[in-house]
A = this chain, B = another copy of it.
């Protein structure tokens, strides 16, 4: 697994467990800014993932079974879905419930923590709908430019 056995690099600043991965440059960073930056990093490692975001959104209205999730997130493989859900469970975002029936039934639902982040996802979703077109337009324009003019290089 990912979180076990934390290798500590030289020059790191092991005040908190989740800081050990980042070098401390006391000159440029206040301890406060340092903590803030690291909190963000930790969380981003957990959330900044396409499937994770889509899962949080998918589970927003209540528990869903594994198979339903797989169909809702069309395109995800069983392996990726299992993995992603496992990590989210470990991070306390989702709760996994096994019903000992035949055939087996496993439900996933957002925890309180998960629900508290679902709001952010809602924001991302709204922003997406409002701005996808701008992104796509920008891409086309960029690709067009790239074809014609050579890219401006930092030369005198």
Q: Do A136 and B106 touch (CB < 8 A)?
A: no
Taking the complex as formed, is A8 at the interface, i.e. its CB lies under 8 A from any CB of chain B?
no
Taking the complex as formed, is A7 at the interface, i.e. its CB lies under 8 A from any CB of chain B?
no
What 0/1 pattern do residues 13 to 29 of A give for CB contact below 8 A with B?
00001100111010010
Taking the complex as formed, is A79 at the interface, i.e. its CB lies under 8 A from any CB of chain B?
no
Q: Which residues of B contact A123 (CB under 8 A)?
A: 120, 123
Bound CA span A120–B128, Å: 11
Bound CA span A125–B142, Å: 30
Chain A binding site: helix, strand, loop or mixed by DSSP? helix
Q: Which residues of B contact A49 (CB under 8 A)?
A: 48
Given contacts A40-B125, A90-B138, A135-B92, contact A98 B154 (CB under 8 A): yes
Interface residue count on the A side (C-beta < 8 Å): 69
Q: Do B44 and A50 touch (CB < 8 A)?
A: yes
Q: Which residues of B contact A109 (CB under 8 A)?
A: none
Given contacts A3-B139, A42-B136, A137-B92, contact A98 B131 (CB under 8 A): no
Further 15 A-B residue pairs, CB within 8 A, beyond A92-B135, A92-B137: A4-B143, A23-B74, A23-B75, A39-B128, A41-B54, A45-B50, A48-B48, A91-B135, A91-B139, A92-B138, A92-B139, A98-B153, A104-B154, A117-B131, A120-B127
